[in-house]
């Protein structure tokens, strides 16, 4: 979970007790709120994979996920917030810094 967000936001079924243990969305984040929540939830529960289409979504120009600045800042915030986890997994840390560099490259390329 700490290497990348592989959980589709509209599809998780989460027990109320898991929210009680992990907390809710971090309102300090402007992007990647779901991923940060999954990281915390992964400390108190396990995730199961369902191999079928559970939801469809539309990609449009107003999505937060295409705001490169918000995405880059949010990844940095998550890395700092969970620095104890990333200190134990340098590969995950490196992958996320690489992701942040790509995000910055795309932001500069498409301005």
- Domain residue ranges of the chain, discontinuous segments joined by +: 16-109
Distance CA 18, CA 43 (A): 10
34-49 per-position pLDDT tens digit? 999 999 999 999 988 8
65-81 pLDDT, tens digit per residue, is 667 788 888 989 999 99
In whole angstroms, what is the distance from residue 72 CA to residue 103 CA? Answer: 6
Q: Report the candidate in 97, 107, 13, 1 with the shortest Cα–Cα distance to residue 55.
A: 13
Q: What residues of the chain score a pLDDT lower than 70?
A: 59-66, 103-111
> What is the Cα–Cα distance from 23 to 89, expressed in whole angstroms?
23
């Amino acid at each position: 979970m700490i290497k990348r967000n592989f959980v589709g936001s509209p599809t998780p079924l989460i027990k109320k007790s898991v929210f009680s243990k992990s907390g809710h969305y971090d309102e300090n984040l402007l992007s990647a709120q779901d991923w940060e929540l999954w990281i915390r939830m992964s400390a108190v529960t396990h995730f199961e994979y369902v191999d079928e289409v559970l939801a469809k979504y539309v990609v449009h120009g107003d999505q937060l996920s295409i705001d490169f600045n918000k995405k880059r800042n949010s990844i940095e915030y998550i890395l700092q917030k969970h620095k104890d986890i990333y200190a134990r997994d340098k590969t995950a840390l490196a992958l996320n810094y690489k992701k942040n560099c790509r995000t910055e490259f795309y932001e500069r390329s498409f301005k």
